[in-house]
Chains A and B, each alone.
Chain A
Amino acid sequence: MVEKSEGMLSPYRVLDLTNERGFIAGKILGDLGADVIKIEKPGGDTARRLGPFYHDIPHPEKSLYWMGFNTNKRGITLDIETADGQEIFRKLCGKADIIVESFDPGYLDSLGLGYAALKEMNPGIIMASITGFGQTGPYKDFKAPDNVLWAISGLGYVHGDADRAPLSPSYPISYFFSAMQAVIGALIALYQRGITSKGQHVDAVTLLGLAWATGPEVQGLWPLNKEIIKRSGRIWPRPQTSPDGEVTYINVPLTYPCKDGGVKFFPFVEPGMIPSTDGLRQWVMEEGMASETLKNVDWSTWNWATVSQETADEVTGSFARFFMNHTKAELWKGAQERGIQLYPVFTPKDMLDFPQLDIREYWQEVEHPELGATITYPGAFTKLGEGSCEIRRRAPLIGEHNEEIYINELGLSKEELMLLKQANVI
């Protein structure tokens, strides 16, 4: 019988050579039970420099970025640019199933540790490589920070307000669209290995993941209609077709400012949505903020494909004034009571205050004895019937499992370990 604390991937070992571009890949595999070993440079991974920091103390053991994405990993230090480090890494590969890495294309090959070399000693090894532009192609050596990928993928152009420059996320998210794809590829390879006994190389390309996420409007309307989709920010332009077939748009807000942030609402008039839309109308009227147009509106005959911009503005203008009188929390509470499909633009504080997440026990308390603290983390990414998906251990300290792995598992002696430490190999 499998213990509840074991995960579906518990027989597998993963070597994690990623930096911040790929942390989440190993984390997800660890959440599902794999034995993930994070390999850091001696002195610690460079991504430990990333904030925010625990109590705002900028220190490699206090990076919340590190902590958030390295749970369920054991940690060792190893310099794979040294001959000893390379020999140790090959030994680790002999007992591993999956390697996840996010170096520039060709880097591991230059060390003799690329997929071609490693499969010679372990034909079942699976290597998943996360890069911005991929292992091959004309852009493969381009520098590929988050905002550049966001831009080239096509996502940049459609984000932001029409009157300003396009926007990229203030908190980088581009590489999530390849780190997770790397895991999908690695697990397909793992499943295939069950049939062929052979591993393979996964080329996870951020540009492809982001281009996929631009969706069919961006990708379709140019080749089909020679139409280019533009950014419209908080506005959701609604198309209107004139009798001679010309398409124009009226501007309808989708996100409105409220007292303490943003709130999303669209007055849908499909039959199932009228109770929601009319619920807001009623609420605005009760507080005496409805325009004459809004008071007298008949949603059953309202048509976004024909209504004039002026009439639309008279309706949404009342909503806008009403929202500015309320906080996100007030609007959410009232909307829930009245069956209105209205949603605050959540920041982390709103997430922590959201009852559904408490009820589903999403938040997980994780002990940090070295800090004398217990920290609340986002927990399982999914709920499972068999085996668990949860945080089983906090992110490792620098070299925390060196002895456990090098001495107990690889059979190095204590003396060798001391020597390797002094030589800056581990």
Chain B
Amino acid sequence: MESRPFEGINILDFTWTATGPFTLNPLAFYGANIIKVEWRERYDALRSLGPFKDGIPEPERSYYFSYSQVGRRYNITLNMSHPKGIELAGRLVTWADIVADSYATGTMEKWGLDYENLKKIKPDIIMFRTCMHGHTGPLARQHGQGFILTALSGVDAIISWPDRTPAGAFGALTDFIAPQFNTICLIAALDYRRRMGKGQYIDQSQHEAAMQLMAPLILDYTVNNRDFTPNGNRLDYAAPHGIYRCQGNDRWCAIAVFTDEEWEKLCEVIGNPALAGDPRFATLLDRKQNEDQLDRIVEAWTSKHSPEEVMRLMQASGVAAGVVANGKDQAEDPQLAHYRFFEEREHPVTGKIPFYHGPCFRLSDADYEIGRATLIGEHNEYVYTELLGLSDDEWAGLVAEGVI
């Protein structure tokens, strides 16, 4: 196996749920060692979230947990409410280049693992923290939840019909936004440390990160005093632009027409070239003015064709169109297959899981490695005896005392 860029980078991982693990996965794909710290009575909260293998809600059966742990990890149990647990954690800090956590403010402090203390143990340590509102201010101690963040960050507001309360995000979309900022920041910190010999303290508010995406809408308010109003599937400078009903049960296709040329092509595809010259639709301004009528005409045609056929015919003519893919379509998508998006891994409890995945980009000269979700305490022996060098007696003693 060729060398990977992060080989030799060690991460002590106190993160849980989604944002923290999603942040660290790309580092693991490219060679970093991660030790995930759990405790039998305080395991990763995502282990409690379904879907579960055979519907049985047990911590080693959560597919959601598996999904968040696609980067290779070691897993240890460590009782952080025991003084000896905290002492062992300190020894693991000397192994680590990065200490990561995704608790609300207070937990790492309670364990004496705040940045000042970590620096005393290892002066060039990188501490990466992420929580809903960041680690300062009156809301620092609030626990996060994905569906809260989609509301506070504006993601819910932009997914809405104009005449209704926002339908909002499906699930915790910000859990896929905030980690991207974090991974970027962590790699920059590794590069900075390599050049400058200095560690780093990263305090991410997931709210602040997710709102970055909304900059133009925020500026429209701070400059023009205009608050955002949703527009359903329409876009100011395109028509037709929407999601149209197709033949079949709950089948749909997205279409977007930006130019007059694309409009003419669409009219040819739907077998009505004369429509391009219809004064109601001849120009973009005309089409915007008569958009309800326009959408009805387009949908009258799409509803007689399968979404695959609509996409194929439109794209072949240079008109943007895409099947609104459901889970089955996604599993069979040729472009995702081309990029080997889905990879199967065997898990000791859940068996074959067909939806592991690597990074969302491909590098021309570095391969990625996908791991599988770890069992609680799966690597205790390796980490405590081989990495930390505990003797068998010490190890047995710590187990007996309820530390490991």
Beyond A153-B325, A159-B169, A184-B359, whether A166 also contacts B243 by CB under 8 A is: yes
Chain A min CB distance to B232 (Å): 7
Please indicate the chain A residues that have their CB under 8 angstroms from the CB of B55 in the complex: 241, 245, 247
Beyond A264-B151, A386-B192, whether A191 also contacts B5 by CB under 8 A is: yes
Across the interface, do B322 and A220 meet the contact criterion of CB distance under 8 Å? no
Q: In the complex, A354 Cα to B173 Cα: how many Å?
A: 21
Across the interface, do A204 and B147 meet the contact criterion of CB distance under 8 Å? no
Q: Which of B221-280 contact A (CB under 8 A)?
A: 221-224, 226-228, 230-238, 241-245, 250, 252-256, 258
Q: In the complex, A387 Cα to B138 Cα: how many Å?
A: 25
Across the interface, do A191 and B6 meet the contact criterion of CB distance under 8 Å? yes
Chain A min CB distance to B318 (Å): 7
Which of B160, B195, B254, B322 lies in contact with A11, CB distance below 8 A? Answer: B195
Across the interface, do B359 and A221 meet the contact criterion of CB distance under 8 Å? no
Query: Which residue of the partner chain B has the closest CB to A225?
Result: B51
Please indicate the chain A residues that have their CB under 8 angstroms from the CB of B366 in the complex: 188-189, 192, 200
- Chain-A contact segment, one of B77-85, B197-205, B281-289, B377-385: B197-205
Chain B min CB distance to A280 (Å): 15
Please indicate the chain B residues that have their CB under 8 angstroms from the CB of A378 in the complex: 208, 211-212, 214-215, 218
Chain A min CB distance to B27 (Å): 8
Across the interface, do A171 and B217 meet the contact criterion of CB distance under 8 Å? yes
Please indicate the chain B residues that have their CB under 8 angstroms from the CB of A348 in the complex: 154, 214, 217-218, 220-222, 227-228
Interface centre among B196, B241, B244, B335 (most CB of A within 10 A): B335
Q: Would you give the 0/1 interface string for A298-331, flagging 1 where the beta carbon is closer than 8 Å to chain B? A: 0000000000000000000000000000000000
The answer to whether the Cβ of A250 comes within 8 Å of any Cβ in the partner chain is no
Please indicate the chain B residues that have their CB under 8 angstroms from the CB of A68 in the complex: 215-216, 218-219
The answer to whether the Cβ of A211 comes within 8 Å of any Cβ in the partner chain is yes
Across the interface, do B335 and A138 meet the contact criterion of CB distance under 8 Å? yes
Which of A218, A346, A355, A387 lies in contact with B151, CB distance below 8 A? Answer: A346
Which of B67, B152, B328, B360 lies in contact with A216, CB distance below 8 A? Answer: B67
Across the interface, do A347 and B228 meet the contact criterion of CB distance under 8 Å? yes
Q: Would you give the 0/1 interface string for A151-182, flagging 1 where the beta carbon is closer than 8 Å to chain B? A: 11111111111001111111111001110111
Which range holds the interface residue count of chain A? 35 or more
Across the interface, do A167 and B159 meet the contact criterion of CB distance under 8 Å? yes
Please indicate the chain B residues that have their CB under 8 angstroms from the CB of A24 in the complex: 212-213
The answer to whether the Cβ of A83 comes within 8 Å of any Cβ in the partner chain is no
The answer to whether the Cβ of B191 comes within 8 Å of any Cβ in the partner chain is yes
Q: Which of A193-251 contact B (CB under 8 A)?
A: 194-196, 198, 200-205, 207-209, 211-225, 227-231, 233-234, 241, 245, 247
The answer to whether the Cβ of A64 comes within 8 Å of any Cβ in the partner chain is yes
The answer to whether the Cβ of B89 comes within 8 Å of any Cβ in the partner chain is no
Q: In the complex, A390 Cα to B282 Cα: how many Å?
A: 46
Beyond A165-B233, A381-B212, whether A228 also contacts B5 by CB under 8 A is: no
Across the interface, do A167 and B184 meet the contact criterion of CB distance under 8 Å? no
Chain A min CB distance to B315 (Å): 5
Across the interface, do A145 and B320 meet the contact criterion of CB distance under 8 Å? yes
Q: In the complex, A343 Cα to B139 Cα: how many Å?
A: 13
Across the interface, do B181 and A382 meet the contact criterion of CB distance under 8 Å? yes
Across the interface, do B325 and A137 meet the contact criterion of CB distance under 8 Å? no
Q: In the complex, A18 Cα to B216 Cα: how many Å?
A: 17
Across the interface, do B330 and A377 meet the contact criterion of CB distance under 8 Å? no
Chain A min CB distance to B120 (Å): 15
Q: In the complex, A218 Cα to B228 Cα: how many Å?
A: 29
Across the interface, do A167 and B243 meet the contact criterion of CB distance under 8 Å? yes
Please indicate the chain B residues that have their CB under 8 angstroms from the CB of A11 in the complex: 195
The answer to whether the Cβ of B21 comes within 8 Å of any Cβ in the partner chain is no
Beyond A142-B315, A170-B232, whether A356 also contacts B222 by CB under 8 A is: no
Chain B min CB distance to A107 (Å): 16
Across the interface, do B220 and A64 meet the contact criterion of CB distance under 8 Å? yes
The answer to whether the Cβ of A417 comes within 8 Å of any Cβ in the partner chain is no
Please indicate the chain B residues that have their CB under 8 angstroms from the CB of A177 in the complex: 176, 180, 360
Across the interface, do A356 and B139 meet the contact criterion of CB distance under 8 Å? yes
Please indicate the chain A residues that have their CB under 8 angstroms from the CB of B221 in the complex: 347-349, 352
Across the interface, do A171 and B51 meet the contact criterion of CB distance under 8 Å? no
Please indicate the chain B residues that have their CB under 8 angstroms from the CB of A257 in the complex: 165
Q: In the complex, A50 Cα to B235 Cα: how many Å?
A: 11
Across the interface, do B339 and A205 meet the contact criterion of CB distance under 8 Å? yes
Beyond A64-B220, A216-B63, A223-B331, whether A143 also contacts B148 by CB under 8 A is: no
Q: Would you give the 0/1 interface string for A259-294, flagging 1 where the beta carbon is closer than 8 Å to chain B? A: 001101010000000000000000000000000000
Query: Which residue of the partner chain A has the closest CB to B334?
Result: A138
Across the interface, do A191 and B137 meet the contact criterion of CB distance under 8 Å? no
Query: Which residue of the partner chain A has the closest CB to B55?
Result: A241
The answer to whether the Cβ of B86 comes within 8 Å of any Cβ in the partner chain is no
Beyond A184-B180, A257-B165, whether A231 also contacts B170 by CB under 8 A is: yes
The answer to whether the Cβ of A357 comes within 8 Å of any Cβ in the partner chain is yes
Across the interface, do B362 and A188 meet the contact criterion of CB distance under 8 Å? no
Chain B min CB distance to A70 (Å): 10
The answer to whether the Cβ of B153 comes within 8 Å of any Cβ in the partner chain is yes
Query: Which residue of the partner chain A has the closest CB to B330?
Result: A154
Q: In the complex, A164 Cα to B167 Cα: how many Å?
A: 11
Please indicate the chain A residues that have their CB under 8 angstroms from the CB of B136 in the complex: 359-360, 383
Which of A211, A228, A377 lies in contact with B328, CB distance below 8 A? Answer: A228
Chain B min CB distance to A172 (Å): 7
Please indicate the chain B residues that have their CB under 8 angstroms from the CB of A208 in the complex: 336, 339, 341, 360-361
The answer to whether the Cβ of B357 comes within 8 Å of any Cβ in the partner chain is yes
Please indicate the chain B residues that have their CB under 8 angstroms from the CB of A160 in the complex: 159, 161, 167
Across the interface, do B242 and A188 meet the contact criterion of CB distance under 8 Å? no
Please indicate the chain A residues that have their CB under 8 angstroms from the CB of B220 in the complex: 52, 64, 348
Across the interface, do B164 and A151 meet the contact criterion of CB distance under 8 Å? no
Chain A min CB distance to B360 (Å): 4
Chain B min CB distance to A190 (Å): 6
Which of B151, B182, B228, B365 lies in contact with A344, CB distance below 8 A? Answer: B151
Across the interface, do A173 and B158 meet the contact criterion of CB distance under 8 Å? yes
Across the interface, do A205 and B51 meet the contact criterion of CB distance under 8 Å? no
Please indicate the chain A residues that have their CB under 8 angstroms from the CB of B354 in the complex: 223-224
Seed contacts A167-B233, A194-B191, A375-B222; 13 additional CB < 8 Å A-B pairs: A24-B212, A151-B252, A152-B254, A152-B323, A165-B233, A187-B188, A205-B339, A217-B51, A228-B327, A230-B326, A255-B167, A384-B203, A385-B201
9 contacts between A and B (CB under 8 A): A32-B185, A52-B217, A154-B330, A170-B160, A205-B362, A217-B51, A220-B67, A255-B168, A352-B222
